Amino acid sequence: MTVSALLLIDIQNDYFPSFTRAKMPLPHMDAASAQAAHLLAAARRSGTIVIHVKHVMASDAAPFFHPGTPGSELHESVAPQSEETVIEKTRPNSFVGTKLQELLREAQVEHLTICGAMSQMCIDATVRAAVDLGFKVTLAHDACAAATVEHDGVTASSDMVQAAIMAPLAASYAEVQRASECVARLQG
């Protein structure tokens, strides 16, 4: 039997438009977290390993996720239970500078279900790294949120960024599914 884990990445207050002091509100973050909460509940019911990843910026000059602030805290919709692991990271890739790979290997995890934010940064970096490390990955795309970005005078909406990230991940890295499909798989 394949051992699986659910990774909830950076579902933190600073990303939520509904959090009054949000420093980096993402469109669709509230909807994404609601889907992540469904995944989390299914993982808990099925006994799937749950790991929360929390981004804490190393510098006070960073635009968001300042250490010790309410904005850097994990959102209440996916609050960890005492037996669940919380890993803090300072880079987009959840494996860099953390014990994530070690914890997964010790638990003999082969498959990861991933959700969270931001799709174009920490989700993309972590999914690609996980596959490069030999894990099979399922990405719950509607339990992820992206930012609207601008480059060289071109603005890409969060919806366009989401599609531009999910399409190549689906082509070469992960099984990209709706959260409801992931829930059905977890419930087996």
Catalytic residues: 122
Structure token digits, residue 118? 């931001």
DSSP β-bridge partners for residue 7: 51, 114
Q: Where are the alpha helices (H) located in the chain, listed in sequence order?
A: 29-46, 100-106, 124-132, 158-172, 179-187
Q: Is 159 helix (H, G, I), strand (E, B) or coil?
A: helix
Q: Is 68 helix (H, G, I), strand (E, B) or coil?
A: coil
Q: Which of 6, 21, 2, 26 is nearest to 144 (CA)?
A: 26
**Single-letter code of the amino acid located at 120:** Q
Q: Which of 110, 102, 145, 176 is nearest to 9 (CA)?
A: 145
Structure token digits, residue 127? 């999914």
